[in-house]
Chain A
Amino acid sequence: MSLPTKRSATATTSSSSASATANFPPMKKAKSQAVSACSPLDPSCNKNGIHHFSSAATADNDVVFDPSSMTLDDDPKLQDRSPPAAANLSRKKATPPQPAKKLVIKLVKAKPTLPANFEEDTWAKLQSAIKAIFLKQPDSCDLEKLYQAVNDLCLHKMGSNLYQRIEKECESHIYAVLQSLVGQSPDLVVFLSLVERCWQDLCDQMLMIRGIALYLDRTYVKQTPNVRSLWDMGLQLFRKHLALSPEVEHKTVTGIYAESFERPFLDCTSEFYAAEGMKYMQHSDVPDYLKHVEIRLHEEHERCLLYLDASTRKPLIATAERQLLERHISAILDKGFMMLMDGHRIADLKRMYSLFLRVNALESLRQALSSYIRRTGQGIVMDDEKDKDMVSSLLEFKASLDTIWEESFSKNEAFCNTIKDAFEHLINLRQNRPAELIAKFLDEKLRAGNKGTSEEELEGTLDKVLVLFRFIQGKDVFEAFYKKDLAKRLLLGKSASIDAEKSMISKLKTECGSQFTNKLEGMFKDIELSKEINESFKQSSQARTKLPSGIEMSVHVLTTGYWPTYPPMDVRLPHELNVYQDIFKEFYLSKYSGRRLMWQNSLGHCVLKAEFPKGKKELAVSLFQTVVLMLFNDAQKLSFQDIKDATGIEDKELRRTLQSLACGKVRVLRKVNAIQMKETVEENTSTTERVFQDRQYQVDAAIVRIMKTRKVLSHTLLITELFQQLKFPIKPADLKKRIESLIDREYLERDKNNPQIYNYLA
């Protein structure tokens, strides 16, 4: 269209507007065309005649035409009912042209409002979509639209509501899913696979939901503090409901942790330690191995504290213990126990004890201890050649065991009993000899010449020996030997200390009762009494008047019952000695009537003053030696037979005496006196035999005693009684022998009707 510029003279004041208005008429057409182009049928127009622009511009700034300012024939209001455009044009011709109206653009104040149920409707769409996702069903709405829906809601500040609703929706579904797991499959593996499936599904679902509500996630969630992202929300809800359903949770956790992690972990641990255990056992010695085990256990413990679940600690430690310790208990004991015990390795043994304690293997340890003691003890006791040292070895052994028990085995009572039992067993393996050796050991300790042992030390030794004594079953053998040695000591004046002797007696008394020590105490009394007698003898008239001069004599008067029996030995004494004996006898019998004195020549000893070419010497010799030597006062050379005839000493004894005198230099004579102190082998065997004989009498006496009281008694009861009464060990077969002997001698008989019963025969 061309604009006519010449008409401007009439409307110059409002040039601009005029020009605007001047320009209008042609535009009118355009406008009307434009206006008319907007028909009510146009779907892009809403009722308000506003074009809805799909742009991001805000609604507020839209430029709008105010149709009331337009000189238009067409009234938009009329457009509703207006006829088609063509009709307008035709009508326009009829009416006169109106004055040009101004077109004013005004901003609309009112905000565009959403449709009333916008939120609900939108949410409804979303909800059905979410439901469909969770139920794995298809939904009518496509994702684009859903996305748009979320956008809309967010744009209209309905984000928080949306979030809450989504949350609620998800929650209800998650809850439902987890509930469905309750009561499912007790088998953990199957259950776990169910749980896994749910979990996978949930992940997928949450992803989808998040995809739809991405806008929400990126805007509202980001902007609002304390609101989790949708993904996290989903996790949170899952966790929450898992916790609410303990069964499911437990199963899952147990399942997962226990099955998927813990078990393989423990298996691996087990394998590892199994292999390690084998390797180390082969390569290292026991103490090192134990140290290593200790370290490993500590490590595992630490591991649990640091990064494993506490519930794993127990099985883990147990696994380690099992592989490293339990499987190797016997190997450890076989390989190293003896060595550790022999070597007195306190620390290592302590470690072994504490480790074994953890795996309940103390019983094996105890048994190993028992066999060790028995074996070692047997070696000490049964070795003939080492008899001399048996007692001291045993004392050492016991002391060592006691220390180990205290320090390594933490004074375990069962172990204490094991030691006792084992000792009792080993000491009695060899009948009688240990008892004899203990007596001998004591003899050495109590004899004079033990310089350097203080009184306390001696007491300590005596106590320790007493412990050994306690284990011995045949205590009467001990008594016989002890008595013999004591007699020698007392008679020859060889006791180191009477106090020590008496202390020993009282210890024995406490241990075995007074009956045991009666005789021994009697021996002491005799010695004391003898001293008195000697004193009064010296004072007596007989002594002063009748004794041959140059001889000093003292006499020990022994009460027969208390002292060991000595075989009587005859000897032809030198005249002086005979006189002396007679005088004393006279004196004694004058004091104590009704007694019989018998001289024990084998026990006599003398101190001879001898003149040798080199000078005078004093010889401490036995009576027999004296007698022999005195012969040489009158002769230079004497044959064996001569001596025998002259002295009247019995053959064997004579040989012994001569041997002691002749085989060695003069000086040796002093030492030779020790022959009296030495025991011959024969003496020992006869002592032992006497003890056995004695035992037989005791058994017989016991049987008779019991039967006399009971009159009638069954065999088994009799045996039981005998075992209770007899203090020494005896076999049932030996008891039977004695019973049969008594039947033979008609002290008892078998009952005619029941051969198991004995009757006493008065």
Chain B
Amino acid sequence: MRRSAARKTGQSNSTAPITSSATDLFRSASSKASSKEMERIDNLFYSYANRSSGLIDPEGIENLCSDMEVDHTDVRILMLAWKMKAEKQGYFTVEEWRRGLKALRADTVNKLKKALPELEKEVKRPSNFVDFYSYSFRYCLTEEKQKSIDIESICQLLDLVLGSHFRAQVDYFIEYLKIQNDYKVINMDQWMGFYHFCTEISFPDLSNYDPELAWPLILDNFVEWMQEKRT
């Protein structure tokens, strides 16, 4: 039961396992590095966070945005929130912050800014996009137990999230949403339905749309409206 000399200097914990020094070194180095990084990330967080709540609030986000030279309504902020898996719109918790920045390997504003293009690409990957798309809806549900989003906000969200991919569909659908009276809010089912609509249905001819399938009713009405418009 003789202990190694190195051990004697350091730990008093007698139950510490016996490991090789290289791994140990690595571990300590990486942990040191990561802890350094984490420290910087945390510091960054607290530079934007609200003192009393301990969260980054909308004001903080605005500041962050201006530092990154990105408009706070920019979709990339939303992407960032997605990366962070932020739960509440307009707020970042420290865990969320850590999660996001660590994944992006950014611990300074500059690095964060530089990580944005990569993030965009990542989001646009088909496997990720659906997730991002549904996330963006949930992100906007501000109230407890809220399930639907009002038309006005939906229009903005659609533009933000899908505008670059499906310009025509989004424009027409927004036009329709504004003039129809059947629905005052949109729910998640309809939201997702629209995405599938954009990816599957040929536009603007709508030739392969079948209202007898399980498309949400609002899309049936939208298609009808489009067809009437055309004649």
Whether both chains belong to one complex is answered with yes
Q: Is B193's CB within 8 Å of the partner chain A?
A: yes
Chain A residues with CB under 8 A of B193: 755
Q: How far is the CA of A756 from the CA of B190 in the complex (A)?
A: 13
Known: A736-B220, A744-B147, A755-B196. A716 touches B213 (CB 8 A): yes
Q: Beyond A733-B220, A744-B147, is A750–B212 a contact (Cβ under 8 Å)?
A: no
Docked Cα-Cα span, A716 to B216, in Å, equals 13
Cβ-based interface call for A525 (8 A): no
Cβ distance A736 to chain B, nearest Cβ, rounded Å: 4
B216 touches A740 (CB 8 A): yes
The answer, yes or no, to whether A737 is at the interface (CB within 8 Å) is yes
CB proximity to A under 8 Å, residues B183-231: 187, 189-190, 192-193, 196, 211-214, 216-217, 220
Q: Does A732 contact B (CB under 8 A)?
A: yes
Contacts of B211 in A (CB 8 A): 732
| A residues 730-745 touching B (CB-CB < 8 Å) | 732-733, 736-737, 740, 743-744
> Are A716 and B187 CB-contacts (below 8 A) given A733-B217, A737-B217, A755-B196?
no
The contact of B214 among A733, A737, A750, by CB within 8 Å, is A750
How many angstroms from the CA of A714 to the CA of B213 in the assembled complex? 9
Look across to chain B and name the residue whose beta carbon is closest to the beta carbon of A734.
B217
- Those 3 A-B pairs whose CB atoms lie nearest each other, nearest first: A715-B214, A736-B217, A756-B214
In the complex, A716→B210 CA distance in Å? 11
**26 residue pairs A–B, Cβ–Cβ below 8 Å:** A714-B214, A715-B213, A715-B214, A716-B212, A716-B214, A719-B212, A732-B211, A732-B212, A733-B217, A733-B220, A736-B216, A736-B217, A736-B220, A737-B217, A740-B189, A740-B217, A743-B189, A744-B147, A744-B187, A744-B189, A755-B193, A755-B196, A756-B213, A756-B214, A757-B214, A758-B214
Interface size, chain B (Cβ < 8 Å) = 14
Complex CA gap A716/B193 in Å reads: 17
By a beta-carbon cutoff of 8 Å, the part of chain B in contact with chain A is: 147, 187, 189-190, 192-193, 196, 211-214, 216-217, 220
Chain B residues closer than 8 Å to A737, beta-carbon distance: 217
A756 to chain B, nearest CB (A): 5
Nearest-Cβ distance from residue B116 to partner chain A, whole angstroms: 30
Contact partners of A744 in chain B: CB under 8 A: 147, 187, 189
A755–B219 CA distance with the chains assembled, in angstroms = 14
- Known pairs A716-B214, A750-B189 / 13 extra A-B pairs, C-beta < 8 Å: A716-B212, A732-B211, A733-B217, A736-B217, A740-B187, A740-B190, A740-B216, A743-B189, A744-B147, A744-B187, A755-B192, A755-B193, A758-B214
A358→B192 CA distance, assembly (Å): 63
Complex CA distance for A714 and B212, rounded to whole angstroms: 12
Q: What distance in Å separates the Cβ of A612 from its nearest Cβ neighbour in chain B? A: 59
How far apart sit A732 and B212, CA to CA, in the bound complex (Å)?
A: 8
A residues within 8 Å of B by Cβ? 714-716, 719, 732-733, 736-737, 740, 743-744, 750, 755-758
**Whole-angstrom distance between the alpha carbons of A356 and B217 in the complex?**
49
- Tell me the bound Cα distance from A757 to B212 in angstroms: 13
A747 to chain B, nearest CB (A): 13
Q: Could you tell me the distance in whole angstroms from the C-beta of A715 to the nearest C-beta in chain B?
A: 3
B18 to chain A, nearest CB (A): 48
When distances are taken between beta carbons in the complex, the residues of chain A under 8 Å from B212 are 716, 719, 732
Which residues of the other chain, B, contact A715 by a CB distance below 8 angstroms?
Answer: 213-214
Closest to A749 in B: B189
> Which B residue sits closest to A750, measured CB to CB?
B189
Measured between C-beta atoms, what is the minimum distance from B50 to chain A in Å? 35
In the complex, A381 Cα to B216 Cα: how many Å?
35
A466 to B213, CA, bound (A): 38
Which A-chain residue is minimally distant from B218 (CB atoms)? A740
Cα(A756)–Cα(B212), bound, Å:
10
Task: Write out the residue numbers on chain B whose beta carbons fall within 8 Å of the beta carbon of A732.
Answer: 211-212
* Chain A residues near B189 (CB-CB < 8 A): 740, 743-744, 750
Q: A737 CA to B187 CA in the complex, in Å? A: 13
CA distance A678 to B190 in the complex (A): 47
B214-A755 in contact (CB<8A): yes
Which residue on A lies nearest to B216, using beta carbons? A740
Q: How far is the CA of A716 from the CA of B211 in the complex (A)?
A: 11
Tell me which residues across on chain B come within 8 A of A750, comparing CB atoms: 189, 192, 214
Question: Min CB distance, A720 to chain B, in Å?
Answer: 11
Q: B residues within 8 A CB of A743?
A: 189
A549 to chain B, nearest CB (A): 63
Q: What are the residues of chain A within 8 A of B220 when measuring CB–CB?
A: 733, 736
- Shortest Cβ gap from B23 to chain A (Å): 42
Q: How far is the CA of A732 from the CA of B211 in the complex (A)?
A: 9
Query: In whole Å, how far is B215's beta carbon from the nearest beta carbon of chain A?
Result: 8
In the docked arrangement, what's the CA distance between A719 and B213, Å?
Answer: 10
